[in-house]
Amino acid sequence: MSKDIHVAFIGNPNCGKTTLFNAYTGAHLKVANWPGVTVEKKEGAMRFHNENYKLVDLPGIYSLTSYTMEEKVSRQYILDDEVDIVVDVADASSLERNLYLALQLIELGKPMVLALNMMDIVEERGMDIDLHRLPEMLGIPVVPVSARKKRGLEILMHAVAHHQGRKPNDRIEHQHSEQELNSKHRHDHHKDCVVVYSDEIEDKIDIIEEALYEKYGELPNMRWHAIKELAQDAEITAKYPLDLPDVLDRSYEKDIIKQKYDLIEEIIQEVLVNKDKKTQATDRIDKYLTHPILGVPIFLAIMAFIFFLTFTIGDMFKDYLVEGIDIVSKNLTLLLEQFQVNQVVSSLLIDGAIAGVGGILAFLPNIFILFLALAVLEDSGYMSRVAYVMDGIMGKVGLSGRAFIPLLLGFGCSVPAIMASRALEDPHDRLKTILVTPFMSCSARLPIYILFAGTFFPDNAMLVAFSMYVLGIVVAIAVAKIFYKVDAPTHKNVLLIELPEYKSPNVTSIFLYAWEKVKSYLSKAGTTIFVASIIIWFILNFNLSGMVEINDSFGASIGKFLAPLLIPAGLGLWQIVVALISGIAAKEVVVASLSVLYGISNINSAEGMSEMVTQLAQAGFTQLNAYALMVFCLLYTPCIASIVTIKKETNSTKAMLFSIVFQMVVAYIMATLVYQIGSVILR
């Protein structure tokens, strides 16, 4: 029985690699994690010309350094002797940025094929790539494909079948001085190398290769190992230490990178005709959006505009939902009375389930608008610019701009945001990012802001809610700074991120994305929030004696016991305390709890808001109390789902418990400062 041919698919993020992989493997797919790490591993199988192929979809990476888990996993797999051939999938419409990984792979010396994907986009943009000159310059086969339109797939597999087992060989040298080009030693010794560096670096590579051979014998990819020694790659230098102080006098990584990009520029000049006008437009836009001074204010202005839309457009539709929920509540009440249903059951359904879940469902339009706007930012290519712009600020607190990506995702939901921290290679950076991510204002908190900002700050509701999002970012960065002071990293974080060309968002994609998020929200309303509403109704209507008035219930006893602790923060009402406790299940439950606590089935309607203001005002609850409450809700202990995710991602009960206690302390301090300082100012 013939041995399976192992094919590794590799490429930059968003190059269409997975689409191409799926086109070959179809349903024959196995998804797991790479051993010892939380990086997803995809394997598939196919048969081509009577041969069995095992295909592996490696994580999307930009280089073969070992800064991230994805890079480590990909590099180690390719270095593995089991890999017969590497398919480097490159986005042909962004050829210049994709060639860097290709050159690194060529240096590894593994058999490989370059798949130029998205050729349909290249044609649409009027670009022309010289498909004869490019393979000559790279010394490897180059196959144009379109994974989306399934063009060129069979030709690519023919190339894979033909070239597996064959190593790349070179046709060009990097342009240097005439003296360098006439060097016989260089011509003879490096004639099979695609990337030929300056004489200084090449001489050092020769010395290192000899030293490696003398100390460790013949290594596979000896030249690649020597280059990595020269770049002071931590993994390689630890595995193959050398005593060459005169040669390894510093890291030559920057020199090596620069000379690779110089070569890429020469290749592009020869093979790419008609530079895309869209690329030029992207460059012009980026002068402003990625400007070191203007970038952050522009980002804040865009977010403010998103919240303006969330409030104005969302509220238009919210009123209709409120009316619908009110009609359902009234009709169900009449129906229960008509059938003379037990008062306990009736109260459970109307005051518990309908009041709790209905109070949350009314915010669906606002949630949909928020996710729709975030999808537009992501699909247009702007989100990666935000990470780039924030890199300088994040660097000052010991993190790279890459860490800001999970924080951005936190605007939607903390759970996937915490999971996104997997992309951070350093375990300390990853832990810090996980611990600060829940400070970002997720969509579950939006109903709280809409309710209290709309009720207590009707003329400035949008600005008040927006201030919560800004405060979340500020607190997250400030806490990261504290962690940095306590545990300063021994290395400087470097951000390497693709800035894709701007494009018009795909209407279908962004609506599907927003709809998926709304479905998740509805699912939570039908499960977590429903169950929480029933539990809250129970503790607010019963004690050991049976069904009682709300002031004598279990909930009232718990709230009254803890309320004195929150008086300094302006949150000393027992009803508020009970609502905050319930919010640990899910932040939306705070609103559901208030509906039950104050007996307001239509809390989101004008009448419901007015009634809540009246009841709170009678207890001395003012605008300042409302703002302190929003601050507390923003910062306190994350929801159960986030807590479980923190435990899973850190594999540490200690980290999970620290997050619970630390966020509660931060929330208490911040809310107290807001209330106490505000009280002094307003005297």
Q: 383: annotated binding-site residue?
A: no
What pLDDT score does 307 carry?
80
Q: 22: annotated binding-site residue?
A: yes
What pLDDT score does 176 carry?
41
**HEC string for 76-107:** HHHHCCCCCEEEEEEEHHHHHHHHHHHHHHHH
Q: 634: annotated binding-site residue?
A: no
Q: 661: annotated binding-site residue?
A: no
Q: Give the span between the Cα atoms of 326 and 332, in whole angstroms.
A: 10
Q: 568: annotated binding-site residue?
A: no
What pLDDT score does 136 carry?
93
pLDDT in tens, 93-125: 889 889 999 999 999 888 999 999 999 888 888
Q: Give the span between the Cα atoms of 347 and 350, in whole angstroms.
A: 5
Cβ contact 368:521 at 8 Å: no
What pLDDT score does 192 carry?
60
Q: 59: annotated binding-site residue?
A: yes
The full length of the chain comes to: 683
Mean pLDDT, residues 305-329: 82
pLDDT in tens, 450-488: 889 988 998 899 999 999 999 999 999 999 999 988 876
Cβ contact 115:32 at 8 Å: no
Q: 13: annotated binding-site residue?
A: yes
Q: 381: annotated binding-site residue?
A: no
Q: Is the pLDDT of residue 159 over 50?
A: yes
Q: 38: annotated binding-site residue?
A: yes
Mean pLDDT, residues 574-582: 93
At residue 55 the predicted structure's pLDDT band, cuts being 50, 70 and 90, is very high
Q: 570: annotated binding-site residue?
A: no
Two tokens at 122? 């290249």
Q: 16: annotated binding-site residue?
A: yes
Q: 551: annotated binding-site residue?
A: no
Q: Give the span between the Cα atoms of 350 and 175, in whole angstroms.
A: 79
At residue 175 the predicted structure's pLDDT band, cuts being 50, 70 and 90, is very low
Q: 126: annotated binding-site residue?
A: no
Mean pLDDT, residues 598-624: 82
CATH 3.40.640.10 fits 178-275, yes or no: no
Q: 25: annotated binding-site residue?
A: yes
Q: Give the span between the Cα atoms of 627 and 571, in whole angstroms.
A: 10
pLDDT in tens, 333-385: 888 888 888 877 887 887 667 776 776 687 788 889 988 998 898 888 888 88
Q: Which residues of 445-475 are buried (b: 16+ CB within 10 A; e: fewer)?
A: bbbbbbbbbbbbbeeebbebbbbbbebbbeb
Two tokens at 159? 């190339």
What pLDDT score does 432 carry?
92
Q: Is the pLDDT of residue 69 over 90?
A: no
CATH of region 5-163, choose from 3.40.50.720, 3.80.30.20, 3.90.660.10, 3.40.50.300:
3.40.50.300
Question: What is the CB-side half-sphere exposure of residue 116 using CA atoms within 13 A?
Answer: 25
Q: Is the pTM of this model over 0.75?
A: no
What pLDDT score does 10 carry?
94
Q: 50: annotated binding-site residue?
A: no
Asked which of 62-76, 150-164, 367-381 is least confident by mean pLDDT, the reply is 62-76
What pLDDT score does 174 carry?
42
What pLDDT score does 491 carry?
54
What pLDDT score does 64 carry?
86
What pLDDT score does 180 carry?
40
Cα angle 423, 429, 430 (rounded to 5 degrees) comes to 45
What pLDDT score does 124 carry?
83
Cβ contact 356:529 at 8 Å: yes
What pLDDT score does 498 carry?
65
Cβ contact 572:563 at 8 Å: yes
What pLDDT score does 13 carry?
83
Q: 493: annotated binding-site residue?
A: no
Tell me what the pLDDT averaged over the chain comes to.
84
Q: Is the pLDDT of residue 137 over 90?
A: yes
Q: 120: annotated binding-site residue?
A: yes
Mean pLDDT, residues 18-45: 70
What pLDDT score does 168 carry?
63
Q: 36: annotated binding-site residue?
A: yes
Q: Is the pLDDT of residue 509 over 50?
A: yes
What pLDDT score does 184 carry?
40
Q: Where are the domains of the chain?
A: 5-163, 178-275, 295-498+510-681
At residue 673 the predicted structure's pLDDT band, cuts being 50, 70 and 90, is very high
Cα angle 458, 463, 466 (rounded to 5 degrees) comes to 125
Neighbours of 605 (CB within 10 A): 19
Two tokens at 537? 């109704």
What pLDDT score does 494 carry?
57
Q: 37: annotated binding-site residue?
A: yes
606's CB contacts (< 8 A; 6+ apart) are none
Coil, strand or helix: which one is 63? Answer: coil
